[in-house]
C-alpha cells in the first residue's frame, strides 16, 4: 500500500529510524479512521480522541520496538480496540464502585451528615465538660447525663441541695460560653444540657 505515493513499508522503516515526516504521514493517513473506529467502540468522542492520540504518542516513543512489516493497519486497529476495551473496563469498574458508594452512603448511618455533626458536637461538649472543676463536672453529669434530681445528687454525694444547685449553675455558665456557637444545634438535636 502507498501513502502519499510512498510505500508503507518504507514509511515504517523511516519511522523506526526516527523520521518525523514518516510519522506525520502515517498519522494523517490512519488517524481519521482510527478515531471513527474508537468512537464506535466507546461512544465518547473526547475519550476516543484521547485514546487515539495517546496511541500515536506511544507509537512515536516506542518506534524502535516496531517489527518490520509491510503494513501497520492491523496493528493500529488492534491496538485501538484493546485500548478502547481497557477504557470501558475502567469505566465499568469505576461506575460499579461509584454505584456501591452511593448505595452505601444512602443506607449506612455512618455516612449520614448528622453523625458527623453530632460527633463534632460531642467532642465540643466533652472538651467543655473537661474544663469544669472535677466536683462541678461530677454533679453536672449526675444531673444532665444520669438524670438524677438535685435531692438525689445531694444525698448521693453527702452535700447540700443548695451546693448542687450552685455547682450546676456554675457549670451551665461555663458551657454556655464554650458552646455558644452550638446552642441552636443542641436545641435541634435535642441535647439537653441547659
Spell out the domains of the chain, with CATH numbers in brackets.
2-107 (1.10.1740.10), 112-189 (1.10.10.10)
Q: Which residue did the predictor score with more confidence, 10 or 102?
A: 10
Pull the grid cell for residue 164: 448542687
Give the list of residues 6+ apart from residue 130 with CB closer than 8 angstroms, or none.
137
Q: Which of 6-15, 22-31, 50-59, 99-108 has the lowest mean pLDDT?
A: 99-108
Pull the grid cell for residue 149: 434530681
Q: Residues 13, 19, 25, CA angle at the centre, nearest 5°?
A: 85
Q: What pLDDT does residue 118 have?
A: 54
Instruction: Please state the rounded mean pLDDT for residues 45-64.
Output: 93
> Please, where are the H alpha helices in the chain?
8-16, 20-42, 45-61, 73-107, 113-131, 134-144, 150-157, 161-178, 183-189
Q: What pLDDT does residue 20 have?
A: 93
pLDDT, tens digit, for every residue of 175-193?
778 777 766 655 555 555 5
Give the list of residues 6+ apart from residue 177 with CB closer than 8 angstroms, or none.
none
Q: Let me know: does 182 contact 121? Beta carbons within 8 Å.
A: yes
Say what angle helices 150-157 and 134-144 make with each other, to 10 degrees.
Answer: 140
What's this model's pTM, rounded to 2 decimal places? 0.50
Statement: residue 146 has pLDDT above 90: no
Q: What pLDDT does residue 59 have?
A: 92
Q: What pLDDT does residue 95 have?
A: 76
Q: What pLDDT does residue 115 have?
A: 46
- Measured CA to CA, the distance from residue 194 to residue 180 in angstroms comes to 12
pLDDT, tens digit, for every residue of 125-141?
788 888 889 998 898 88
Q: What pLDDT does residue 55 have?
A: 95
Residue 116's pLDDT band (cuts 50, 70, 90):
very low
- Measured CA to CA, the distance from residue 115 to residue 56 in angstroms comes to 50
Q: Let me know: does 185 contact 117? Beta carbons within 8 Å.
A: yes
Q: Which of 1-15, 53-67, 93-107, 130-144 has the lowest mean pLDDT?
A: 93-107
Statement: residue 86 has pLDDT above 70: yes
Amino acid at each position: 500500500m502507498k501513502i502519499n505515493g510512498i510505500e508503507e513499508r518504507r514509511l515504517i522503516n523511516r519511522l523506526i529510524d526516527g523520521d518525523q515526516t514518516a510519522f506525520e504521514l502515517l498519522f494523517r493517513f490512519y488517524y481519521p479512521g482510527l478515531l471513527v473506529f474508537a468512537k464506535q467502540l466507546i461512544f465518547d468522542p473526547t475519550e476516543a480522541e484521547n485514546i487515539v492520540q495517546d496511541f500515536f504518542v506511544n507509537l512515536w516513543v516506542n518506534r524502535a520496538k516496531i517489527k518490520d512489516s509491510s503494513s501497520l493497519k492491523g496493528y493500529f486497529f488492534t491496538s485501538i480496540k484493546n485500548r478502547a476495551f481497557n477504557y470501558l473496563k475502567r469505566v465499568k469498574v469505576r461506575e460499579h464502585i461509584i454505584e456501591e458508594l452511593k448505595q452505601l452512603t444512602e443506607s449506612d448511618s455512618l455516612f449520614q451528615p448528622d453523625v458527623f455533626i453530632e460527633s463534632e458536637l460531642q467532642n465540643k461538649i466533652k472538651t467543655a465538660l473537661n474544663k469544669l472543676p472535677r466536683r462541678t463536672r461530677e454533679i453536672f453529669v449526675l444531673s444532665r447525663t444520669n438524670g438524677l434530681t438535685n435531692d438525689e445528687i445531694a444525698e448521693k454525694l453527702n452535700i447540700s441541695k443548695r451546693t448542687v444547685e450552685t455547682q450546676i449553675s456554675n457549670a451551665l455558665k461555663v458551657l454556655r460560653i464554650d458552646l455558644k456557637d452550638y446552642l441552636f444545634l443542641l436545641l435541634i438535636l435535642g441535647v439537653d444540657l441547659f
